Structure 1
Amino acid sequence: MKKKVYFHALKIDPVKNSNNKLFLAIIIALIIGVSLGGLVHYQYPESIPSFSQNIKLLGTIFIRLVQMIIAPLVFCTLVVGIAKMGDMKMVGRVGAKAMTWFITASLVSLLIGMALVNWFAPGESTNISLAETSSAADLINQTSAFSLEVFINHVVPRSVFESFAHNEILQIVIFSIFFGVALSTLGKEGDQIITFLDKTSKVVLKMVGYIMWVAPLGVLGAVASAVANYGFEVFTLYAHYLLAFMAGIAVLWLVLLTVGYLLLGKRLWELLQRLKTPILIAFSTTSSEAVFPKMVEELEAFGCSPKIVSFTLPLGYSFNLDGSMMYMTFASLFIAQIYDIHMPIEKQLTMLLVLMLTSKGVAGVPRASLIVIVATCSMFGIPPEGIALILPIDHFCDMARSMTNVLGNGLSTAAIDKWESKREENLQTTNT
């Protein structure tokens, strides 16, 4: 009893305090990772392959721990959310709002990438060799195999167990929607299943708290491996490319935060406080998927309705990748600039629309952004092997686009939740 009074009197939130400790631990791990990677690259070059391979295992362990709980968490929260909604009109309404946001945000992201790559023209001032393109062979082979059939295979599940085994989020979402709708029609007969899945989701979220404390080790491993492999010279060689891309990320963040402030007001800063740890983890590990469970936890703690979070967030992870969208336009036109291929504005706008459509078709495909870039380059007469020119710096660009994807999904979920809350308030006022 005294402990509760003590916390209340000092206005200390134990959960928030724990999040701050985790944030600090990740920052420290990030600094150690950069230092350790740099030390190996410059002082012990003969150890780079073995060091990079072994230290990267720390990141692999963390990612795999998170992947272990993504499928059950998506399934349980989404099914319970839909079943508790009861009203299928609400499911359709929330889905329509979510897709409208996702498509609009994607178009804005693509346009920002197109505008800035034309303005800065980094490909015209980056001195990199066009000779070595063998590293692109694997990606080109993956792209040649991509077709409408592959798209359908990544969207419509053949077996729910296969979808769970491979963490195909979009397939799990589709199965969960059907399961949740069917469950909601059972009435009281389905209450026990809903209760069971609801309690299961709470257990999984409890596991999230434990797994997140492995994040600092994952960050250290991922960053140390990347720096050991490429060293700091890569930043000098690609200085123009990186500066232009980071300017694009900054503009996109400004647009997202402005829209967020217009919709959420001063609560935007509270949301950012909640999202700071997921954003940092995504930045450090280059995986927005790795923070999905933590995002669910933080958005619900922010005050978002669990049923809105469980429905909107999984969709966002398949369709609302703002940072990746901007990168696709940017990288495609950068490769065209390197090869001195003139792209008139009307051709660029056509490319933008193609990217918009094809990016939605590779949800769940490994290295989706790079595959889409290769496919688009081939379509517009840009040498697809040019993707090899950006592979050395792709890891560091992926850090920026991953954290931007997290911000975009957090804002979209919070905004849709606010719209639904306002609608319910207006209905209650009208009925009164």
Structure 2
Amino acid sequence: MLKFFNSLFGRVVIALVAGIVIGAVFPHFAQSLRPLGDGFLKLIKMVIGPIVFCVVVSGMAHAGDLRKVGRVGLKSVIYFEIMTTIALVIGAVLAYATRPGVGMNINLHSLDPASLSTYTENAKSLKDTAGFLLKIIPDTAINAFATGDILQILVFSVLFGSALSLLGNKAQRVSSLIDELSQVFFRVM
């Protein structure tokens, strides 16, 4: 049992249960703790991009044969699509069963439509396959990290990792640096 309490999973479960209990018993106090949760989420978002970059680049650089990386990549995409579809089905079933938001008495006329402008602009650029493909290519590598666009970071990481893999021993120092950086970012996490 002590092993459960010392594991990350155990701590997350304990925090989840504590949050539910505090929210149910002391709702005003729970609301005052919101900045802690928001700050925690921002801290996680801060390191996700660099961690994805380091893990993908390191994995590709150490894989050796790019064909092997391609096979693993294809299997990963298929797995991702299947799991995403299952998650969407579960979410849709639960939404129809639990009907979230019912009884909240929100006046739709009082909502600010301008706050949705960012989402509608993004949706306009994704109307076709060409728009989607152009959207996943970052304008600059730094911009992908600055905006936190994980798909753009992933595209850059794959290109960077492929280049390191093709360079072989010539890129050993860069590859070692990225391995060390990944350890640092995981410690930050």
Measured against the shorter chain, the TM-score band is: 0.7 to 0.9
> Using a 3 Å threshold, how does the CA distance of structure 1 residues 102 and 133 change in structure 2: closer, same or farther?
same
Q: Does residue 17 of the first structure (1) align with residue 28 of the second (2)?
A: no
CA contact (8 A) 2:66 2:165 kept: no
Partner residue, 1:148:
125
For residues 211-255 of structure 1, give each alpha carbon's deviation from its aligned partner in whole angstroms, at most 9, with x where no partner exists. xxxxxxxxxxxxxxxxxxxxxxxxxxxxxxxxxxxxxxxxxxxxx
**TM-score w.r.t. length of structure 1:** 0.36
* Alignment partner of 1:137 out of 95, 109, 113: 113
1:179 CA displacement: 0.9
Q: Does residue 200 of the first structure (1) align with residue 187 of the second (2)?
A: no
* Alignment partner of 2:74 out of 93, 96, 99: 96
Q: How many residues align?
A: 181
Partner residue, 1:175:
156
1:183 CA displacement: 1.3
Letter in 2 for 1:17: K
1:144 CA displacement: 3.1
> Using a 3 Å threshold, how does the CA distance of structure 1 residues 51 and 138 change in structure 2: closer, same or farther?
farther
1:155 CA displacement: 1.4
> Using a 3 Å threshold, how does the CA distance of structure 1 residues 201 and 168 change in structure 2: closer, same or farther?
same
Q: Does residue 37 of the first structure (1) align with residue 13 of the second (2)?
A: no
Q: Does residue 74 of the first structure (1) align with residue 49 of the second (2)?
A: no
Identity of aligned residues (%): 30
1:38 CA displacement: 3.9
For residues 83-130 of structure 1, give each alpha carbon's deviation from its aligned partner in whole angstroms, at most 9, with x where no partner exists. 11121111221121122222333444445566x47xx7777xx97488
1:23 CA displacement: 4.5
For residues 325-377 of structure 1, give each alpha carbon's deviation from its aligned partner in whole angstroms, at most 9, with x where no partner exists. xxxxxxxxxxxxxxxxxxxxxxxxxxxxxxxxxxxxxxxxxxxxxxxxxxxxx
> Using a 3 Å threshold, how does the CA distance of structure 1 residues 163 and 98 change in structure 2: closer, same or farther?
same
Distance in 1 (alpha carbons) for counterparts of 2:55 and 2:102: 50
1:30 CA displacement: 3.6
* Alignment partner of 1:185 out of 154, 166, 170: 166
Partner residue, 2:145:
164
Distance in 2 (alpha carbons) for counterparts of 1:74 and 1:157: 15
Larger Rg: 1
> Using a 3 Å threshold, how does the CA distance of structure 1 residues 51 and 111 change in structure 2: closer, same or farther?
closer
1:25-424 to 2 correspondences below 5 Å: 25-39=11-25, 41=27, 52=31, 54-111=32-89, 116=93, 128=103, 132-134=107-109, 135=111, 137=113, 140-145=116-121, 146-148=123-125, 151=132, 154-208=135-189
**TM-score w.r.t. length of structure 2:** 0.73
CA contact (8 A) 2:145 2:153 kept: yes
Distance in 2 (alpha carbons) for counterparts of 1:204 and 1:131: 41
> Using a 3 Å threshold, how does the CA distance of structure 1 residues 179 and 39 change in structure 2: closer, same or farther?
same
Q: Secondary structure at the match of 1:104?
A: helix
Higher relative contact order (CA 8 A, sep 6+): 2
Q: Secondary structure at the match of 2:33?
A: helix
Letter in 2 for 1:147: K
> Using a 3 Å threshold, how does the CA distance of structure 1 residues 19 and 196 change in structure 2: closer, same or farther?
farther
Letter in 2 for 1:156: I
Q: Secondary structure at the match of 1:67?
A: helix
CA contact (8 A) 1:71 1:169 kept: yes
For residues 262-300 of structure 1, give each alpha carbon's deviation from its aligned partner in whole angstroms, at most 9, with x where no partner exists. xxxxxxxxxxxxxxxxxxxxxxxxxxxxxxxxxxxxxxx
> Using a 3 Å threshold, how does the CA distance of structure 1 residues 101 and 25 change in structure 2: closer, same or farther?
closer
CA RMSD of aligned residues (A): 3.6
